Amino acid sequence: MHGRKEYIFSTLNEFRKSADIDVPERVMERRLLGLVRDLEKEREEYLNQEALVKKQTDILAYQFRNNATQAVAFAEANAQLQRDQAKANALKRVEMARINGLTSMCSALGITQTKYINSLQYLQTLKDSKDNVKYSVDFSHAISQQAKLT
């Protein structure tokens, strides 16, 4: 063997079988008990690892749901803002067109007095809001006024 060491590895059972050595039952029980404890430790580690992975998965799922909820809320708020801005811009354009039309009409008719301009603006407002205005005529009042005049 010239200075070279060789090692032989074997398990306790193999050693016992090959050498016909009688290992006391207590030694075997301790060995088995140690193996069972090792397996129980390993099982506990796997159970702890499983619980940790479940908790991390729950956290990620919560974060994804939260992000999705925030994204939907932001999109809805942004859409509402755009709708409100569009309505405001539309009303602004209508009012600007109305002002420009009134200015043009007053210039064309030569109306410069404020009370006549206001009267025209009032008539135009009544005309534009005809769906919201209910007209009624009080004939009894009109007849009594006519009788007073004659």
One-letter amino acid of 57: T
Distance separating alpha carbons of residues 120 and 110, to the nearest angstrom: 13
Share of the chain above pLDDT 70, in %: 71
Angle at CA 81, nearest 5°, toward 62 and 100?
Answer: 175
Local confidence band at 47 (pLDDT 50, 70, 90 cut-offs)? very high
Query: By C-alpha distance, which of 55, 75, 73 is closest to 65?
Result: 73
CB 27 within 8 A of CB 15: no
Local confidence band at 127 (pLDDT 50, 70, 90 cut-offs)? confident
Segment 119-137 mean pLDDT: 73
Distance separating alpha carbons of residues 141 and 145, to the nearest angstrom: 6
With a cut of 80, say whether residue 79 has pLDDT above it: yes
With a cut of 70, say whether residue 112 has pLDDT above it: yes
Share of the chain above pLDDT 90, in %: 44
CB 10 within 8 A of CB 18: yes
Higher pLDDT, 64 or 109: 64
Segment 81-88 mean pLDDT: 97
With a cut of 90, say whether residue 26 has pLDDT above it: no
With a cut of 60, say whether residue 97 has pLDDT above it: yes
With a cut of 60, say whether residue 9 has pLDDT above it: no
